[in-house]
Structure 1
Amino acid sequence: MVQRVQLEAHLATLLAVDRFKDYGPNGLQVEGRDEVQTLVSGVTASRALIDAAIEARADALLVHHGLFWRGQDGRLVGWLRERVARLLAHGINLFAYHLPLDAHAELGNNAQLGLRLGLLADARFGEQDLGFIGAADAALDATALAERVGQRLQRAPVLLAGDDRPLRRIAWCTGGAQGYFEAAIAAGADAFITGEISEPQAHIARETGVAFLACGHHATERYGAPAVGEHLAQQFGLEHRFIEIGNPA
């Protein structure tokens, strides 16, 4: 068991939250009970995940995508009211970490995705150093890389193969990081892996020859929260459970 304030302080230090300019607040977003023994982790603080945390008798919920984002009007109505009401009614603390959870060198989404894909970063790139890049671990082309991604994430990626060159350097940044493609190219990447694709990336891949793989926002970001959850379980003797709420995005 750990005090909520102690848990929050540990997470702030672990994830270096003060280093990041982000789209919403990182840390405790909804205050629940003072003591935490049972922790549930998940990707997004959806109503389905909150209901699953209630069923698991969680004292705290740790997610990547929290409830509050820049540009919201601040009213607790509709779907947002329903989520917050459930958390408050059951005394569940909601901890949310967006960019800090992407960036952590060992427990973050990028680091954990790299482990699953057999990729090891030796450098960072892009705004706030969120992108990871490293040498390919084998003789790969874009098609072989896409096959590996599909097998390990259980989801076939959208592949733009570029000029199908041998891949010497592979860059990646999870979630909605398609805007990092040009920075990855400038960093020397032969392929870039992320979650989403927008219209410009198809043209950039064709014109530069650098491969682009869109592997799913949720699919690429479901590993950081449980890794941090397991760390907290070991650090504080907590009961921890990761709950997967499927998402086709």
Structure 2
Amino acid sequence: MAKLNEIIQWCNQTLKSHEFKDYAPNGLQIEGKQDVNKILCAVTASQDAIDAAIEQGADLLLVHHGYFWKGEPYPITGMRGKRIKSLIQHDISLVGYHLPLDSHPSLGNNAALAEILGLRDIEPLDSNERYPIGNIGYLNQPMSAAAFKQYCTDRLGFNTIHLPAEKRSIQKVAYCTGAAQDFISKAAERDCDAYISGEVSERTYYEARELNVNYYACGHHATERYGVQRLAKAISEQFNIEYSYFELNNPI
């Protein structure tokens, strides 16, 4: 058993969450019971994830996509009201880490993606960022653009979308998980052969062609299912408490 405030303090320090300007609050978003025996982690705090936390008797739901995003309406009603009510009624804490969990050099989504794809010699995509959100890595051997699409599909279990460019050989790869398709311009500035993110926009098709960077959309969920699992495991080891992962395979 661990105390909620001790877990939050450790996570905030480990992820350096106070040093990020983010779109939602990082850390404790909804406070539940103070004694934590079990954590359920999930990518997003959906009703399915909440129901799983209730069913499994979890005291804390740890997510990458939590609540209270900038621009959301203030009233706690409808779908969001039901979610929050479910958490409060069952005394379950909601803890979310967004950009700090993307960025962390060992626990983060980007770090996991680099390992899964076998990228080496990792460097920041934007050298001006103190804690880079995007990165660049290198394949051991060049691949054709088509072969790299299949490689991403096989490694991530997601039917990768490839937007082609004139470059036919892939070795220098920029990447940022989630919905960071607009960073393709940064990849072009660094003369990357390819850029990976989770989602794709209509405009990205033209940008890939005109910037001459192969774009690979590998799934928002598929590229971000790893950070919460790594963080939950680290918490489990630090505080000797149980954790499990809830997978709802979002096709986006």
After TM superposition, the score normalised by the length of structure 2 is 0.95
Task: Tell whether 2:76 aligns with 1:76.
Answer: yes
The residue correspondences of 1:18-167 to structure 2 (distance < 5 A) are 18-126=18-126, 128=129, 129-167=132-170
Measured in 2, the distance between the counterparts of 1:94 and 1:242 equals 15
Measured in 1, the distance between the counterparts of 2:73 and 2:167 equals 46
SS at match of 1:174: coil
Q: Displacement of 1:245 after TM fit?
A: 1.4
Measured in 2, the distance between the counterparts of 1:161 and 1:232 equals 41
Alpha-carbon displacement from aligned partner over 1:154-213 (angstroms, at most 9, x marks no partner) = 111110121143223101100100011101111231100101111222112112321000
Alpha-carbon displacement from aligned partner over 1:82-120 (angstroms, at most 9, x marks no partner) = 111111111111100111110000110111111111123
Q: Displacement of 1:122 after TM fit?
A: 1.9
SS at match of 2:238: helix
Q: Report the equivalent of 2:9.
A: 9
Q: Report the equivalent of 1:175.
A: 178
SS at match of 1:137: strand
SS at match of 1:91: coil
Give aligned pairs, total.
249
Equivalent position to 1:203, from 198, 201, 206: 206
**1:130 alignment partner AA:** I
Q: Displacement of 1:121 after TM fit?
A: 5.0
Measured in 1, the distance between the counterparts of 2:133 and 2:120 equals 15
CA contact (8 A) 1:141 1:164 kept: no
Task: Tell whether 2:215 aligns with 1:217.
Answer: no
**1:245 alignment partner AA:** L
Measured in 1, the distance between the counterparts of 2:245 and 2:5 equals 22
- Identity among equivalent pairs (%): 41
Alpha-carbon displacement from aligned partner over 1:7-60 (angstroms, at most 9, x marks no partner) = 000000111101111101000000000011101100000000000011110010
CA contact (8 A) 1:45 1:65 kept: yes
Task: Tell whether 2:236 aligns with 1:233.
Answer: yes
- Report the more deviating stretch, 223-232 or 197-206: 197-206
After TM superposition, the score normalised by the length of structure 1 is 0.97
Task: Tell whether 2:205 aligns with 1:194.
Answer: no
**2:223 alignment partner AA:** T
CA contact (8 A) 1:121 1:132 kept: no
RMSD, aligned CA: 1.2
CA contact (8 A) 2:138 2:173 kept: yes
**1:78 alignment partner AA:** G
CA contact (8 A) 2:184 2:213 kept: no
CA contact (8 A) 2:87 2:93 kept: yes
**2:67 alignment partner AA:** L
What residue ranges of structure 2 are gaps of 5+ in the alignment? none
